[in-house]
Structure 1
């Protein structure tokens, strides 16, 4: 008996409609899983990169600032720093720069200012220090200018936040921590201005705050904003309490935006709460707060307490 050959149509039959739909669904599920893994990995890499940027720019910059702040009052025979100390290491008034100084108060160490900030209702502070190179070696100021050994001029460094935004209308600004250095002679005449834009130290900063460590008593150290310290009345029988240390605080952000729906917008800095400006148009970045306490080596205050021995 002869078997009829299969028809040509039967020999080339493909997938059925149901098989095609099942294949399509499986392909979409696999593609979705792959995309999910890709997005998770991309977000993780972005966060790690952003955190690395913040850590690199902040830690190294903070160390550099600490090294310079420790120099405050170097070369000054007076180690008791107040707002009236001649060439005092922390510049708070014209008296700290010399008898004939006429510098505007907006270039001194201040906190009640209009310094740019991305924090709601809290402007950035400004720190101004002063020192002299009495070492036998060359030194360099915060802008990289050489300080000759034995120079009679005082070096003045101003740390402040400035706006580097390309768009002047945006609510959230692109801010940077900068330092401007200058020279002041013995009488207080500025021979090299420290009022310019200076050099950028940290390229992405939302806030910069400082507190002055004040020797309030023999065994008591109190940290005050510069404006509060300036408001302390001069005792008739002596001097104001001396400034012996400085607390520094910064809120730093990354340069690479995050691929996420939310980012941190509240921070604790130097014991107070700081919230970013409520701006729906701002980009989302990785942010972190940093704090450091610097003891002024050339402003030590030693208090001796005498005790009476009752034994015969």
Structure 2
């Protein structure tokens, strides 16, 4: 209490204390560290979730899309009385020339639908391939083609696998299949525009490549398999060897962006380097390769150079 001029006064002043500058700086630093740790955990969890989602999408592409393609490829040349598939085989399971669908060799009206190179891709300087197969439904019942349409018994179906843009904005390129029928008057049912149409088989495909496996009857190469592109096969001189297998290669991507890390920008596919075009989004990508033997195009090499005797 204070006395002032004979008047008793009561003081309400109290001493107070606060953070020192050092304490305040320490608090700010601790807050920043905690915030950084929370952000790091969030980014890590987001990256993990994104990677897992993309991994699931890539697995679906392998399990469903690639297996569907392989299953239909095994049907190639079904119902054809000629087992040897070449560019001259009428009804040949691998459609690579006009003769395979019963046209004259000089008729190029359907050439854009044959097995060839020239499709779109997300790879620098390397176009995607197109694979065209045909087979006859000999099962006696209706079976589905690659677009889930019924194939009547004894009907011959032609299926074209190729890369095109998705009809959904932002989805990019995908592997599609366009199915039609082969009749005495030609091909019916295929999309009028060879760069569009067809049903989606595998989403998120940057590249699709194929190689044709051949066997020759030359003694030095008997039993050995060589793999050629469609153009390399057609460039062979003389009578061409039969096609007995097909190698398929795919570069597939997920849909979720990868956060906070670098991703591969170049891949090896069927022995060739495939560099991505610049500006491609940072996505999880992987390659798939498979080899399918054409069960309806079996070739048997018989060695008649040695005479066998009893007991030998």
TM range (shorter): 0.7 to 0.9
Q: What whole-Å deviation, never above 9, does each CA across 1:266-312 have from its counterpart, x for those lacking one?
A: 100001111111x2x43211111110101111000011224334779
Superposed, 1:56-71 pairs within 5 Å as 56-71=60-75
Superposed, 1:115-264 pairs within 5 Å as 115-148=119-152, 150-151=153-154, 153-164=155-166, 174-185=172-183, 187=184, 189-196=186-193, 197-217=197-217, 218-235=222-239, 240-264=240-264
Q: What whole-Å deviation, never above 9, does each CA across 1:73-114 have from its counterpart, x for those lacking one?
A: 001011010001011000011110114776421110002x2x
Corresponding residue pairs, total: 292
Query: Aligned to 2:14, which of 9, 12, 15?
Result: 9
1:47 to 1:198, Cα distance in 2 relative to 1, 3 A = same
Cα separation, 2, equivalents of 1:157 and 1:260:
42
Superposed, 1:108-119 pairs within 5 Å as 108-111=114-117, 113=118, 115-119=119-123
Higher-Rg member (1/2): 2
- Which residue of 2 is the match for residue 270 of structure 1? 270
1:230 to 1:195, Cα distance in 2 relative to 1, 3 A = farther
Report the Cα offset of residue 60 of structure 1: 1.5
Q: Give the unaligned 5+ runs of structure 2.
A: 1-9
Q: Contact 1:157/1:180 (CA < 8 Å) preserved in 2?
A: yes
- Which residue of 2 is the match for residue 284 of structure 1? 282
- Which residue of 2 is the match for residue 294 of structure 1? 292
- Which residue of 1 is the match for residue 76 of structure 2? 72
Report the Cα offset of residue 146 of structure 1: 0.7
Q: What whole-Å deviation, never above 9, does each CA across 1:108-140 have from its counterpart, x for those lacking one?
A: 0002x2x10111111000000000110133210
1:138 to 1:13, Cα distance in 2 relative to 1, 3 A = same
Cα separation, 2, equivalents of 1:156 and 1:165:
23
1:16 to 1:105, Cα distance in 2 relative to 1, 3 A = same
Q: What whole-Å deviation, never above 9, does each CA across 1:10-43 have from its counterpart, x for those lacking one?
A: 3x53433332222221111111112112212211
Report the Cα offset of residue 255 of structure 1: 1.2
TM-score, structure 1 normalization: 0.86
TM-score, structure 2 normalization: 0.86
Cα separation, 2, equivalents of 1:29 and 1:161:
49
Question: What is the root-mean-square deviation in Å for CA atoms of aligned residues?
Answer: 2.4
Q: Contact 1:86/1:97 (CA < 8 Å) preserved in 2?
A: yes
Cα separation, 2, equivalents of 1:190 and 1:29:
69
Report runs of 4+ in structure 1 exceeding 3 Å deviation.
Answer: 5-8, 12-17, 99-103, 164-167, 309-312
Give the SS at the match of 1:256: strand
Cα separation, 1, equivalents of 2:128 and 2:298:
28
Q: Contact 1:99/1:188 (CA < 8 Å) preserved in 2?
A: no
Q: Contact 1:158/1:194 (CA < 8 Å) preserved in 2?
A: no
Q: Give the unaligned 5+ runs of structure 1.
A: none
Cα separation, 2, equivalents of 1:205 and 1:83:
29
Cα separation, 2, equivalents of 1:165 and 1:182:
21
